[in-house]
Amino acid sequence: MIYFVRHGSTDWNDNKNAEGISCPRCQGRIDASLNEAGITQAGKTKDMLKDIKFKRIICNPLKRARQTCDIVSNRTAKIEIDACLIERDFGEFEGLARDEFDFNGFWNSNSNQKFARAESIKDVEKRVFELLDELKKNPDDDVLLVSHGGVGRVVMSYFKGKPKDGNYLTFEIPNGSPLILDLNEIKGK
């Protein structure tokens, strides 16, 4: 089984606009720390997963994911750091709130948008799918993956199939929540 955990909240995840409405900022490669809510979320996830004996624990190198992994993991395995799980590079959109650019188009694989520096969905798929293909060789191992929302969307597409309309935003994973996926039940790819 794959236990995918999106990192806990940061101040940029909890950003609100001038009207007080939730409007997260894009924090692809920014090395932000968890805020108090994120620490609490990770603690709740730890309680949910406390009885799992992970064969592997894989985390990406960004601080918010590492902090979440340190809280959530039950240390039944050594924590492996793997850049395949790093968040999508938002490039020129890094730090912008979702309402400050075409966020929906950015996450639509059918969009013809060209980016100056941002990473394409296809590039994220390539690196994440390679890791999942490796893990699929041992489908009965319990593996904890700690990463980000964008990577979680791609992980979901591996298991459930790419969205027919191209809209990866249909695969939303809340901060600090576990997603349990069976490597023996892949409908995607």
Give 159-166 contacts, CB < 8 A, sequence gap 24+.
159/185, 159/186, 159/187, 159/188, 160/187, 160/188, 161/187, 161/188, 161/189, 162/109, 162/188, 163/109, 165/108, 165/110, 166/108, 166/109, 166/110, 166/111
Helices (H), 17-120: 36-49, 63-72, 103-106
Catalytic residues: 7, 87
Q: Which two tokens stand for residue 33?
A: 């720390």
